[in-house]
Chains A and B, each alone.
Chain A
Protein backbone atom coordinates (compact mmCIF):
# COMPACT_ATOMS: atom_id res chain seq x y z
CA UNK A 1 0.00 0.00 0.00
CA UNK A 2 1.07 3.51 -0.49
CA UNK A 3 0.25 6.53 1.61
CA UNK A 4 1.37 10.12 1.93
CA UNK A 5 3.84 9.12 4.61
CA UNK A 6 5.26 6.10 2.87
CA UNK A 7 5.44 5.53 -0.79
CA UNK A 8 6.14 2.00 -1.87
CA UNK A 9 7.57 3.40 -5.09
CA UNK A 10 10.62 5.04 -3.53
CA UNK A 11 12.45 1.80 -2.80
CA UNK A 12 12.84 1.18 -6.55
CA UNK A 13 14.96 4.31 -7.08
CA UNK A 14 18.59 3.79 -6.07
CA UNK A 15 19.49 7.50 -6.20
CA UNK A 16 16.97 8.28 -3.44
CA UNK A 17 18.08 5.57 -1.08
CA UNK A 18 21.24 4.92 0.81
CA UNK A 19 22.29 8.42 1.81
CA UNK A 20 22.54 9.38 5.47
CA UNK A 21 20.72 12.67 5.12
CA UNK A 22 17.24 12.54 3.64
CA UNK A 23 17.31 14.19 0.26
CA UNK A 24 14.00 15.72 -0.86
CA UNK A 25 14.08 15.57 -4.62
CA UNK A 26 11.32 17.95 -5.71
CA UNK A 27 12.53 18.75 -9.22
CA UNK A 28 10.92 15.97 -11.25
CA UNK A 29 9.49 18.47 -13.73
CA UNK A 30 13.07 19.04 -14.86
CA UNK A 31 14.02 15.36 -14.83
CA UNK A 32 12.82 12.30 -12.96
CA UNK A 33 15.02 9.81 -11.13
CA UNK A 34 15.52 6.43 -12.75
CA UNK A 35 14.39 3.12 -11.23
CA UNK A 36 16.83 0.26 -10.83
CA UNK A 37 15.09 -1.93 -13.42
CA UNK A 38 15.63 0.70 -16.15
CA UNK A 39 19.33 0.88 -15.38
CA UNK A 40 19.48 -2.92 -15.46
CA UNK A 41 17.66 -3.20 -18.79
CA UNK A 42 19.92 -0.64 -20.45
CA UNK A 43 23.01 -2.42 -19.18
CA UNK A 44 21.67 -5.80 -20.19
CA UNK A 45 21.02 -4.61 -23.72
CA UNK A 46 24.68 -3.72 -24.17
CA UNK A 47 25.85 -6.83 -22.37
CA UNK A 48 23.83 -9.20 -24.51
CA UNK A 49 25.23 -7.79 -27.72
CA UNK A 50 24.55 -4.39 -29.19
CA UNK A 51 24.06 -3.82 -32.90
CA UNK A 52 22.46 -1.32 -35.20
CA UNK A 53 18.77 -1.79 -35.96
CA UNK A 54 17.17 -2.66 -39.32
CA UNK A 55 20.54 -3.35 -40.92
CA UNK A 56 22.17 -6.73 -40.59
CA UNK A 57 20.68 -10.18 -40.23
CA UNK A 58 23.03 -11.57 -37.58
CA UNK A 59 21.69 -12.42 -34.16
CA UNK A 60 22.88 -9.28 -32.36
CA UNK A 61 21.15 -7.16 -34.99
CA UNK A 62 17.98 -9.25 -34.86
CA UNK A 63 17.92 -8.97 -31.10
CA UNK A 64 18.45 -5.18 -31.20
CA UNK A 65 15.79 -4.66 -33.87
CA UNK A 66 13.25 -6.77 -32.00
CA UNK A 67 13.88 -5.01 -28.71
CA UNK A 68 13.76 -1.59 -30.39
CA UNK A 69 10.46 -2.27 -32.18
CA UNK A 70 8.95 -3.87 -29.11
CA UNK A 71 9.89 -0.71 -27.19
CA UNK A 72 8.08 1.36 -29.82
CA UNK A 73 4.96 -0.75 -29.34
CA UNK A 74 5.17 -0.47 -25.55
CA UNK A 75 5.52 3.30 -25.66
CA UNK A 76 2.79 3.74 -28.28
CA UNK A 77 0.30 1.67 -26.28
CA UNK A 78 1.11 3.74 -23.21
CA UNK A 79 -0.54 6.76 -24.88
CA UNK A 80 -3.22 4.78 -26.69
CA UNK A 81 -1.50 4.75 -30.09
CA UNK A 82 -0.36 2.18 -32.64
CA UNK A 83 3.35 1.46 -33.00
CA UNK A 84 3.54 2.77 -36.57
CA UNK A 85 2.26 6.16 -35.36
CA UNK A 86 5.18 6.71 -33.03
CA UNK A 87 8.43 8.32 -34.18
CA UNK A 88 11.48 8.13 -31.93
CA UNK A 89 13.13 11.47 -31.26
CA UNK A 90 15.81 12.62 -28.85
CA UNK A 91 13.13 14.36 -26.81
CA UNK A 92 10.35 16.94 -26.85
CA UNK A 93 12.55 19.73 -28.22
CA UNK A 94 13.70 17.71 -31.20
CA UNK A 95 10.13 16.59 -31.85
CA UNK A 96 8.90 20.20 -31.88
CA UNK A 97 11.68 21.17 -34.27
CA UNK A 98 10.95 18.18 -36.51
CA UNK A 99 7.34 19.36 -36.68
CA UNK A 100 8.12 23.02 -37.25
CA UNK A 101 10.36 22.02 -40.19
CA UNK A 102 8.10 19.27 -41.48
CA UNK A 103 4.95 21.40 -41.48
CA UNK A 104 6.55 24.52 -42.98
CA UNK A 105 4.87 23.77 -46.32
CA UNK A 106 1.45 24.29 -44.71
CA UNK A 107 2.22 27.87 -43.75
CA UNK A 108 2.16 30.80 -46.19
CA UNK A 109 2.68 34.53 -45.85
CA UNK A 110 -0.01 36.09 -43.65
CA UNK A 111 -1.09 32.76 -42.12
CA UNK A 112 -1.24 32.32 -38.37
CA UNK A 113 0.48 29.97 -35.96
CA UNK A 114 -1.02 29.97 -32.48
CA UNK A 115 0.81 29.18 -29.25
CA UNK A 116 -0.22 29.93 -25.66
CA UNK A 117 1.44 32.37 -23.29
CA UNK A 118 2.48 29.54 -21.02
CA UNK A 119 4.58 27.61 -23.53
CA UNK A 120 8.12 26.76 -22.59
CA UNK A 121 10.79 27.75 -25.05
CA UNK A 122 10.95 24.37 -26.80
CA UNK A 123 7.36 24.65 -27.96
CA UNK A 124 7.58 28.35 -28.72
CA UNK A 125 10.85 29.20 -30.42
CA UNK A 126 10.58 26.60 -33.25
CA UNK A 127 7.16 28.07 -34.15
CA UNK A 128 8.41 31.62 -33.86
CA UNK A 129 11.28 30.79 -36.22
CA UNK A 130 8.89 29.08 -38.63
CA UNK A 131 6.68 32.20 -38.57
CA UNK A 132 9.71 34.38 -39.40
CA UNK A 133 10.74 32.07 -42.21
CA UNK A 134 7.30 31.92 -43.82
CA UNK A 135 6.34 35.53 -43.06
CA UNK A 136 3.46 34.19 -41.00
CA UNK A 137 2.12 35.66 -37.76
CA UNK A 138 2.80 34.07 -34.41
CA UNK A 139 -0.34 34.59 -32.32
CA UNK A 140 -0.55 34.09 -28.58
CA UNK A 141 -3.44 32.81 -26.44
CA UNK A 142 -3.05 34.99 -23.34
CA UNK A 143 -3.03 33.69 -19.80
CA UNK A 144 -5.49 34.92 -17.15
CA UNK A 145 -4.30 36.07 -13.72
CA UNK A 146 -4.75 32.61 -12.22
CA UNK A 147 -2.57 31.05 -14.92
CA UNK A 148 -5.29 29.44 -17.06
CA UNK A 149 -5.40 30.33 -20.72
CA UNK A 150 -8.04 32.72 -21.99
CA UNK A 151 -10.06 30.24 -23.99
CA UNK A 152 -12.76 32.81 -24.76
CA UNK A 153 -10.20 35.08 -26.43
CA UNK A 154 -8.91 32.20 -28.52
CA UNK A 155 -12.44 31.23 -29.60
CA UNK A 156 -13.07 34.77 -30.68
CA UNK A 157 -9.80 35.34 -32.54
CA UNK A 158 -9.29 32.00 -34.23
CA UNK A 159 -9.93 32.01 -37.96
CA UNK A 160 -9.15 29.93 -40.99
CA UNK A 161 -5.88 31.86 -41.30
CA UNK A 162 -4.66 29.58 -38.53
CA UNK A 163 -2.64 26.63 -39.81
CA UNK A 164 -1.04 25.31 -36.62
CA UNK A 165 -1.93 25.43 -32.92
CA UNK A 166 0.94 24.41 -30.61
CA UNK A 167 0.14 24.10 -26.91
CA UNK A 168 1.43 22.36 -23.80
CA UNK A 169 -0.80 19.75 -22.19
CA UNK A 170 0.52 20.89 -18.80
CA UNK A 171 2.55 24.05 -18.16
CA UNK A 172 6.05 23.32 -16.90
CA UNK A 173 6.19 26.46 -14.79
CA UNK A 174 2.80 26.65 -13.05
CA UNK A 175 1.30 23.20 -13.64
CA UNK A 176 -1.82 24.47 -15.40
CA UNK A 177 -3.55 21.80 -17.49
CA UNK A 178 -4.88 23.03 -20.81
CA UNK A 179 -8.27 21.97 -22.22
CA UNK A 180 -6.78 19.96 -25.07
CA UNK A 181 -9.96 18.25 -26.39
CA UNK A 182 -11.62 21.67 -26.71
CA UNK A 183 -8.52 23.24 -28.30
CA UNK A 184 -8.35 20.32 -30.76
CA UNK A 185 -12.00 20.76 -31.66
CA UNK A 186 -11.51 24.48 -32.28
CA UNK A 187 -8.33 24.00 -34.31
CA UNK A 188 -9.92 21.33 -36.49
CA UNK A 189 -13.00 23.46 -37.03
CA UNK A 190 -10.74 25.86 -38.90
CA UNK A 191 -8.70 23.16 -40.62
CA UNK A 192 -5.60 23.73 -38.46
CA UNK A 193 -3.29 21.05 -37.08
CA UNK A 194 -2.83 20.83 -33.34
CA UNK A 195 0.49 19.97 -31.71
CA UNK A 196 0.44 19.05 -28.02
CA UNK A 197 3.59 19.19 -25.93
CA UNK A 198 3.07 16.44 -23.37
CA UNK A 199 6.45 16.70 -21.65
CA UNK A 200 4.95 17.63 -18.27
CA UNK A 201 1.82 15.52 -18.63
CA UNK A 202 2.74 11.93 -19.51
CA UNK A 203 4.08 11.02 -16.09
CA UNK A 204 1.13 12.50 -14.20
CA UNK A 205 -2.00 11.86 -16.26
CA UNK A 206 -3.73 9.02 -18.01
CA UNK A 207 -2.84 10.23 -21.48
CA UNK A 208 -4.88 8.90 -24.39
CA UNK A 209 -4.17 10.62 -27.69
CA UNK A 210 -7.55 9.50 -29.05
CA UNK A 211 -9.47 11.25 -26.32
CA UNK A 212 -7.31 14.35 -26.73
CA UNK A 213 -8.06 14.24 -30.48
CA UNK A 214 -4.79 16.00 -31.26
CA UNK A 215 -2.78 15.58 -34.47
CA UNK A 216 0.61 15.38 -32.77
CA UNK A 217 1.73 14.63 -29.23
CA UNK A 218 5.34 14.93 -28.08
CA UNK A 219 7.17 13.98 -24.92
CA UNK A 220 10.55 13.11 -23.39
CA UNK A 221 11.81 9.98 -21.67
CA UNK A 222 13.76 11.72 -18.94
CA UNK A 223 10.60 13.17 -17.38
CA UNK A 224 9.02 9.71 -17.45
CA UNK A 225 11.53 7.78 -15.31
CA UNK A 226 13.54 6.89 -18.42
CA UNK A 227 16.97 7.98 -19.65
CA UNK A 228 17.85 11.28 -21.34
CA UNK A 229 18.25 11.61 -25.10
CA UNK A 230 15.10 9.70 -25.97
CA UNK A 231 11.55 10.84 -26.57
CA UNK A 232 8.74 10.45 -29.02
CA UNK A 233 6.52 12.14 -31.50
CA UNK A 234 3.07 10.64 -31.95
CA UNK A 235 1.01 11.59 -34.96
CA UNK A 236 -2.22 10.38 -36.45
CA UNK A 237 -1.64 8.59 -39.74
CA UNK A 238 -2.79 11.52 -41.83
CA UNK A 239 -0.79 13.98 -39.71
CA UNK A 240 2.44 11.99 -40.06
CA UNK A 241 1.96 11.62 -43.83
CA UNK A 242 1.84 15.40 -43.96
CA UNK A 243 5.29 15.76 -42.43
CA UNK A 244 8.17 16.35 -44.79
CA UNK A 245 11.48 14.99 -43.53
CA UNK A 246 14.04 17.62 -42.61
CA UNK A 247 16.84 15.38 -41.39
CA UNK A 248 18.26 13.02 -43.98
CA UNK A 249 20.31 9.84 -43.94
CA UNK A 250 20.29 6.39 -42.41
CA UNK A 251 17.13 4.36 -42.19
CA UNK A 252 14.90 7.11 -43.59
CA UNK A 253 16.30 6.50 -47.08
CA UNK A 254 14.72 4.15 -49.63
CA UNK A 255 16.69 4.67 -52.84
CA UNK A 256 19.46 7.11 -53.62
CA UNK A 257 21.10 8.12 -56.86
CA UNK A 258 23.02 11.32 -57.58
CA UNK A 259 19.93 12.64 -59.35
CA UNK A 260 17.32 11.97 -56.72
CA UNK A 261 16.39 10.11 -53.54
CA UNK A 262 13.25 8.50 -52.23
CA UNK A 263 12.19 7.96 -48.66
CA UNK A 264 11.33 4.91 -46.62
CA UNK A 265 7.80 4.38 -45.27
CA UNK A 266 6.57 5.60 -41.90
CA UNK A 267 7.71 5.65 -39.15
CA UNK A 268 11.26 5.21 -40.53
CA UNK A 269 10.93 8.09 -43.01
CA UNK A 270 11.18 10.47 -40.05
CA UNK A 271 13.96 8.68 -38.15
CA UNK A 272 17.25 9.68 -39.74
CA UNK A 273 20.54 8.27 -38.53
CA UNK A 274 21.17 5.56 -35.99
CA UNK A 275 18.54 5.88 -33.27
CA UNK A 276 19.10 5.85 -29.53
CA UNK A 277 18.46 2.12 -29.23
CA UNK A 278 19.46 1.75 -25.59
CA UNK A 279 17.44 4.87 -24.79
CA UNK A 280 14.33 3.41 -26.43
CA UNK A 281 14.78 0.16 -24.51
CA UNK A 282 15.31 2.12 -21.28
CA UNK A 283 12.18 4.18 -21.83
CA UNK A 284 10.09 1.10 -22.57
CA UNK A 285 11.49 -0.42 -19.40
CA UNK A 286 10.32 2.67 -17.47
CA UNK A 287 6.82 2.24 -18.94
CA UNK A 288 6.78 -1.42 -17.91
CA UNK A 289 7.93 -0.36 -14.45
CA UNK A 290 4.96 2.03 -14.19
CA UNK A 291 2.54 -0.53 -15.59
CA UNK A 292 3.13 -2.94 -12.70
CA UNK A 293 1.25 -0.52 -10.43
CA UNK A 294 -2.45 0.22 -10.80
CA UNK A 295 -2.77 3.52 -12.67
CA UNK A 296 -5.46 4.76 -10.31
CA UNK A 297 -3.26 4.21 -7.30
CA UNK A 298 -0.25 5.93 -8.88
CA UNK A 299 -2.17 9.01 -9.91
CA UNK A 300 -4.08 9.22 -6.67
CA UNK A 301 -0.84 9.09 -4.65
CA UNK A 302 0.51 12.02 -6.64
CA UNK A 303 -2.73 13.99 -6.47
CA UNK A 304 -2.96 13.59 -2.70
CA UNK A 305 0.64 14.60 -2.24
CA UNK A 306 0.19 17.63 -4.47
CA UNK A 307 -2.91 18.63 -2.50
CA UNK A 308 -0.95 18.26 0.73
CA UNK A 309 1.93 20.38 -0.58
CA UNK A 310 -0.47 23.02 -1.86
CA UNK A 311 -2.27 23.16 1.48
CA UNK A 312 1.01 23.46 3.39
CA UNK A 313 2.30 26.21 1.14
CA UNK A 314 -1.00 28.10 1.16
CA UNK A 315 -1.06 28.07 4.95
CA UNK A 316 2.45 29.47 5.17
CA UNK A 317 2.33 33.21 5.83
CA UNK A 318 5.52 33.90 3.85
CA UNK A 319 4.60 31.94 0.75
CA UNK A 320 3.10 33.61 -2.30
CA UNK A 321 1.76 31.21 -4.91
CA UNK A 322 2.39 32.02 -8.56
CA UNK A 323 -0.69 31.10 -10.56
CA UNK A 324 -3.64 29.18 -9.20
CA UNK A 325 -4.91 27.23 -12.18
CA UNK A 326 -8.22 25.37 -12.09
CA UNK A 327 -6.59 22.07 -12.97
CA UNK A 328 -3.12 21.73 -11.51
CA UNK A 329 -0.85 18.84 -12.41
CA UNK A 330 2.41 17.78 -10.79
CA UNK A 331 3.87 21.06 -9.62
CA UNK A 332 3.49 24.32 -7.69
CA UNK A 333 5.26 27.62 -8.34
CA UNK A 334 5.71 30.09 -5.51
CA UNK A 335 7.84 32.84 -4.05
CA UNK A 336 8.99 33.62 -0.54
CA UNK A 337 8.08 37.12 0.57
CA UNK A 338 10.95 39.55 0.06
CA UNK A 339 13.39 36.88 -1.03
CA UNK A 340 14.74 36.50 -4.52
CA UNK A 341 13.98 33.00 -5.86
CA UNK A 342 17.64 32.39 -6.53
CA UNK A 343 18.60 33.19 -2.95
CA UNK A 344 15.91 30.79 -1.84
CA UNK A 345 17.07 28.03 -4.18
CA UNK A 346 20.67 28.37 -3.00
CA UNK A 347 19.52 27.84 0.57
CA UNK A 348 17.06 25.04 -0.24
CA UNK A 349 20.05 23.22 -1.65
CA UNK A 350 21.84 23.64 1.69
CA UNK A 351 18.89 21.94 3.38
CA UNK A 352 19.00 19.00 0.94
CA UNK A 353 15.87 20.10 -0.82
CA UNK A 354 16.19 20.01 -4.61
CA UNK A 355 13.93 22.64 -6.15
CA UNK A 356 14.25 24.71 -9.26
CA UNK A 357 14.25 28.48 -9.37
CA UNK A 358 14.16 30.94 -12.23
CA UNK A 359 12.02 31.24 -15.30
CA UNK A 360 11.68 27.48 -15.94
CA UNK A 361 12.47 28.01 -19.61
CA UNK A 362 9.21 29.92 -20.05
CA UNK A 363 10.30 33.54 -19.95
CA UNK A 364 7.16 35.09 -21.49
CA UNK A 365 4.93 33.48 -18.85
CA UNK A 366 7.34 34.43 -16.13
CA UNK A 367 7.31 38.08 -17.15
CA UNK A 368 3.51 37.97 -17.09
CA UNK A 369 3.01 36.36 -13.66
CA UNK A 370 6.26 36.76 -11.73
CA UNK A 371 9.00 38.88 -13.35
CA UNK A 372 11.78 37.88 -10.95
CA UNK A 373 11.06 34.21 -11.56
CA UNK A 374 9.75 31.73 -9.03
CA UNK A 375 10.55 28.61 -7.08
CA UNK A 376 9.09 25.41 -8.44
CA UNK A 377 8.24 22.35 -6.40
CA UNK A 378 7.50 19.38 -8.63
CA UNK A 379 6.60 15.82 -7.76
CA UNK A 380 7.49 12.32 -8.82
CA UNK A 381 6.17 8.93 -7.80
CA UNK A 382 8.89 8.52 -5.20
CA UNK A 383 7.99 11.61 -3.19
CA UNK A 384 6.28 11.34 0.19
CA UNK A 385 4.99 13.59 2.93
CA UNK A 386 8.46 13.78 4.48
CA UNK A 387 9.81 15.47 1.32
CA UNK A 388 7.13 18.17 1.51
CA UNK A 389 7.64 18.63 5.26
CA UNK A 390 11.38 18.97 4.67
CA UNK A 391 10.72 21.72 2.11
CA UNK A 392 8.37 23.56 4.49
CA UNK A 393 10.90 23.31 7.32
CA UNK A 394 13.54 24.67 4.97
CA UNK A 395 11.25 27.62 4.18
CA UNK A 396 11.00 28.43 7.90
CA UNK A 397 14.77 28.25 8.29
CA UNK A 398 15.35 30.37 5.20
CA UNK A 399 12.97 33.04 6.48
CA UNK A 400 14.78 32.99 9.80
CA UNK A 401 18.16 33.32 8.13
CA UNK A 402 16.96 36.29 6.16
CA UNK A 403 15.64 37.74 9.39
CA UNK A 404 12.32 38.69 7.92
Chain B
Protein backbone atom coordinates (compact mmCIF):
# COMPACT_ATOMS: atom_id res chain seq x y z
CA UNK B 1 0.00 0.00 0.00
CA UNK B 2 1.46 3.28 -1.06
CA UNK B 3 -0.22 6.41 0.09
CA UNK B 4 0.61 10.08 0.12
CA UNK B 5 1.61 11.53 3.48
CA UNK B 6 -1.43 12.56 5.49
CA UNK B 7 -0.19 16.12 5.67
CA UNK B 8 2.21 17.77 3.27
CA UNK B 9 2.91 20.88 5.29
CA UNK B 10 6.34 21.04 6.86
CA UNK B 11 7.28 22.86 10.04
CA UNK B 12 8.52 25.91 8.19
CA UNK B 13 5.30 26.25 6.24
CA UNK B 14 3.31 25.92 9.43
CA UNK B 15 5.36 28.62 11.11
CA UNK B 16 4.80 30.87 8.10
CA UNK B 17 1.06 30.68 8.66
CA UNK B 18 1.44 32.13 12.15
CA UNK B 19 3.88 34.93 11.32
CA UNK B 20 1.28 37.69 11.16
CA UNK B 21 -0.77 36.61 14.14
CA UNK B 22 -1.08 39.42 16.65
CA UNK B 23 -3.45 38.05 19.24
CA UNK B 24 -4.05 34.66 20.74
CA UNK B 25 -7.40 34.58 18.93
CA UNK B 26 -5.59 34.80 15.60
CA UNK B 27 -3.22 32.06 16.62
CA UNK B 28 -6.12 29.81 17.56
CA UNK B 29 -7.87 30.68 14.31
CA UNK B 30 -4.75 29.53 12.43
CA UNK B 31 -4.70 26.39 14.52
CA UNK B 32 -8.33 25.73 13.58
CA UNK B 33 -7.51 26.32 9.91
CA UNK B 34 -4.60 23.93 10.29
CA UNK B 35 -7.03 21.29 11.51
CA UNK B 36 -8.75 21.40 8.12
CA UNK B 37 -5.51 20.29 6.45
CA UNK B 38 -5.79 16.94 8.17
CA UNK B 39 -8.00 14.70 6.10
CA UNK B 40 -10.32 12.42 8.03
CA UNK B 41 -9.13 8.98 8.96
CA UNK B 42 -10.85 6.05 7.31
CA UNK B 43 -13.59 5.16 9.76
CA UNK B 44 -12.51 1.52 9.67
CA UNK B 45 -9.36 2.59 11.52
CA UNK B 46 -11.26 4.50 14.20
CA UNK B 47 -11.27 1.43 16.37
CA UNK B 48 -11.00 0.97 20.10
CA UNK B 49 -7.55 -0.45 19.48
CA UNK B 50 -6.33 2.71 17.74
CA UNK B 51 -7.90 5.01 20.31
CA UNK B 52 -5.27 6.77 22.41
CA UNK B 53 -5.71 6.55 26.17
CA UNK B 54 -6.38 9.48 28.44
CA UNK B 55 -8.20 12.05 26.34
CA UNK B 56 -11.29 14.12 26.96
CA UNK B 57 -11.73 14.02 23.21
CA UNK B 58 -11.14 10.99 20.99
CA UNK B 59 -7.74 10.70 19.36
CA UNK B 60 -6.84 7.82 17.06
CA UNK B 61 -3.44 6.76 15.86
CA UNK B 62 -2.20 3.95 13.66
CA UNK B 63 1.01 3.24 11.90
CA UNK B 64 1.29 1.17 8.75
CA UNK B 65 3.84 0.99 5.95
CA UNK B 66 6.00 3.66 7.61
CA UNK B 67 2.98 5.95 7.49
CA UNK B 68 1.63 7.59 10.61
CA UNK B 69 -2.10 8.35 10.48
CA UNK B 70 -3.86 10.33 13.20
CA UNK B 71 -7.25 11.91 13.77
CA UNK B 72 -9.36 13.50 16.47
CA UNK B 73 -12.95 14.64 16.86
CA UNK B 74 -11.79 17.89 18.49
CA UNK B 75 -10.53 20.59 16.14
CA UNK B 76 -7.87 22.17 18.33
CA UNK B 77 -6.39 18.73 18.85
CA UNK B 78 -6.53 18.10 15.09
CA UNK B 79 -4.63 21.33 14.53
CA UNK B 80 -2.00 20.22 17.02
CA UNK B 81 -1.83 16.81 15.34
CA UNK B 82 -0.86 18.52 12.09
CA UNK B 83 2.11 19.99 13.95
CA UNK B 84 2.89 16.55 15.41
CA UNK B 85 2.87 14.99 11.92
CA UNK B 86 5.12 17.69 10.51
CA UNK B 87 7.49 17.22 13.46
CA UNK B 88 7.46 13.48 12.85
CA UNK B 89 8.17 13.95 9.15
CA UNK B 90 11.10 16.23 9.85
CA UNK B 91 12.91 13.88 12.21
CA UNK B 92 10.95 10.99 13.66
CA UNK B 93 13.33 10.46 16.58
CA UNK B 94 13.01 14.05 17.72
CA UNK B 95 9.26 14.44 17.20
CA UNK B 96 8.59 15.55 20.76
CA UNK B 97 11.38 18.13 20.83
CA UNK B 98 10.42 19.64 17.48
CA UNK B 99 6.75 19.70 18.52
CA UNK B 100 7.46 21.56 21.79
CA UNK B 101 9.82 24.00 20.10
CA UNK B 102 7.27 24.72 17.41
CA UNK B 103 4.48 25.35 19.93
CA UNK B 104 6.80 27.73 21.71
CA UNK B 105 7.55 29.60 18.47
CA UNK B 106 3.90 29.78 17.50
CA UNK B 107 2.98 31.22 20.88
CA UNK B 108 0.77 28.27 21.74
CA UNK B 109 2.96 26.52 24.26
CA UNK B 110 1.72 28.26 27.35
CA UNK B 111 -1.75 26.81 27.41
CA UNK B 112 -1.59 23.71 25.30
CA UNK B 113 1.62 21.91 26.16
CA UNK B 114 0.78 21.41 29.81
CA UNK B 115 -2.58 19.81 29.27
CA UNK B 116 -2.23 16.10 29.90
CA UNK B 117 -5.81 15.32 29.09
CA UNK B 118 -5.84 16.31 25.47
CA UNK B 119 -4.20 13.15 24.15
CA UNK B 120 -1.20 14.89 22.61
CA UNK B 121 1.11 13.63 25.35
CA UNK B 122 -0.13 10.09 24.77
CA UNK B 123 0.30 10.46 21.00
CA UNK B 124 3.88 11.62 21.49
CA UNK B 125 4.59 8.70 23.81
CA UNK B 126 3.22 6.27 21.24
CA UNK B 127 5.35 7.86 18.53
CA UNK B 128 8.41 7.63 20.74
CA UNK B 129 7.81 3.87 20.98
CA UNK B 130 7.71 3.63 17.17
CA UNK B 131 10.97 5.36 16.38
In contact, B32 and A401 (Cβ under 8 angstroms): yes
A345–B76 Cα distance when bound, in Å, is 11
**A340 is an interface residue with CB less than 8 A from chain B:** yes
In contact, A343 and B75 (Cβ under 8 angstroms): yes
**A347 is an interface residue with CB less than 8 A from chain B:** yes
Closest B residue to A339 using CB positions: B75
Q: Mask for B100-131, Cβ within 8 A of A = 1, else 0? A: 00000000000110010110000000000000
**B57 is an interface residue with CB less than 8 A from chain A:** yes
In contact, A350 and B32 (Cβ under 8 angstroms): no
Measured CB to CB, the closest approach of chain A to B36, in angstroms, equals 11
Question: Please, how many residues of chain B have a CB less than 8 angstroms from a CB on the other chain?
Answer: 18
Closest A residue to B57 using CB positions: A342
Q: Which of B13-21, B23-31, B62-70, B91-99 contacts A (4 or more CB under 8 A)?
A: B23-31
A-chain residues with CB within 8 Å of residue B118 when the two chains form the complex: 342, 346
- Chain A residues numbered 342-401 whose CB sits less than 8 Å from any CB in chain B: 342-343, 345-347, 349-350, 357-359, 372-373, 397, 401
Cross-chain contact of B73 among A340, A345, A358, A359 (Cβ < 8 A): A340
In contact, B24 and A401 (Cβ under 8 angstroms): no
Known: A349-B111, A357-B56, A358-B56. Contact between A342 and B77, CB under 8 A? yes
Known: A346-B111, A372-B73, A401-B29. Contact between A341 and B56, CB under 8 A? yes
Measured CB to CB, the closest approach of chain B to A196, in angstroms, equals 29
In contact, B29 and A342 (Cβ under 8 angstroms): no
**B37 is an interface residue with CB less than 8 A from chain A:** no
Cross-chain contact of A402 among B24, B32, B115 (Cβ < 8 A): B32
A305–B76 Cα distance when bound, in Å, is 31
Closest A residue to B119 using CB positions: A342
B-chain residues with CB within 8 Å of residue A401 when the two chains form the complex: 25, 28-29, 32
Measured CB to CB, the closest approach of chain A to B59, in angstroms, equals 10
In contact, B25 and A343 (Cβ under 8 angstroms): no
- Chain A residues numbered 96-127 whose CB sits less than 8 Å from any CB in chain B: none
Measured CB to CB, the closest approach of chain A to B105, in angstroms, equals 19
In contact, B57 and A340 (Cβ under 8 angstroms): yes
Closest B residue to A373 using CB positions: B56
Closest A residue to B24 using CB positions: A350
A403–B36 Cα distance when bound, in Å, is 13
Known: A340-B73, A342-B76, A372-B73. Contact between A347 and B28, CB under 8 A? yes
Measured CB to CB, the closest approach of chain A to B73, in angstroms, equals 6
B-chain residues with CB within 8 Å of residue A357 when the two chains form the complex: 56
Measured CB to CB, the closest approach of chain B to A363, in angstroms, equals 12
B-chain residues with CB within 8 Å of residue A372 when the two chains form the complex: 57, 73
A129–B73 Cα distance when bound, in Å, is 32
- Chain A residues numbered 202-235 whose CB sits less than 8 Å from any CB in chain B: none
Interface centre among B29, B74, B111 (most CB of A within 10 A): B74
Measured CB to CB, the closest approach of chain B to A123, in angstroms, equals 21
Interface centre among B28, B73, B111 (most CB of A within 10 A): B28
In contact, B32 and A342 (Cβ under 8 angstroms): no
A-chain residues with CB within 8 Å of residue B28 when the two chains form the complex: 347, 350, 401
Measured CB to CB, the closest approach of chain B to A340, in angstroms, equals 4
A-chain residues with CB within 8 Å of residue B55 when the two chains form the complex: 342
In contact, A343 and B56 (Cβ under 8 angstroms): no
A-chain residues with CB within 8 Å of residue B57 when the two chains form the complex: 340-343, 372-373
B-chain residues with CB within 8 Å of residue A358 when the two chains form the complex: 56, 117
Interface centre among A339, A340, A341 (most CB of B within 10 A): A340
Measured CB to CB, the closest approach of chain A to B3, in angstroms, equals 27
Measured CB to CB, the closest approach of chain B to A233, in angstroms, equals 30
A-chain residues with CB within 8 Å of residue B117 when the two chains form the complex: 342, 358
In contact, A342 and B74 (Cβ under 8 angstroms): yes
A357–B118 Cα distance when bound, in Å, is 11
Closest A residue to B56 using CB positions: A358
- Chain A residues numbered 140-197 whose CB sits less than 8 Å from any CB in chain B: none
Measured CB to CB, the closest approach of chain B to A46, in angstroms, equals 31
- Chain B residues numbered 1-51 whose CB sits less than 8 Å from any CB in chain A: 24-25, 28-29, 32
Measured CB to CB, the closest approach of chain A to B56, in angstroms, equals 4
- Chain A residues numbered 319-340 whose CB sits less than 8 Å from any CB in chain B: 339-340
* Subset of 21 A-B contacts with CB under 8 Å: A339-B75, A340-B57, A340-B73, A340-B75, A341-B56, A341-B57, A342-B76, A342-B118, A343-B74, A343-B76, A346-B112, A346-B118, A347-B76, A349-B111, A350-B24, A350-B111, A372-B73, A373-B57, A401-B25, A402-B32, A403-B32
4 cross-chain pairs, A with B, having the tightest CB-CB distances, nearest first: A340-B74, A358-B56, A342-B57, A342-B74
Which residues of B line the A interface, CB within 8 A? 24-25, 28-29, 32, 55-57, 73-77, 111-112, 115, 117-118
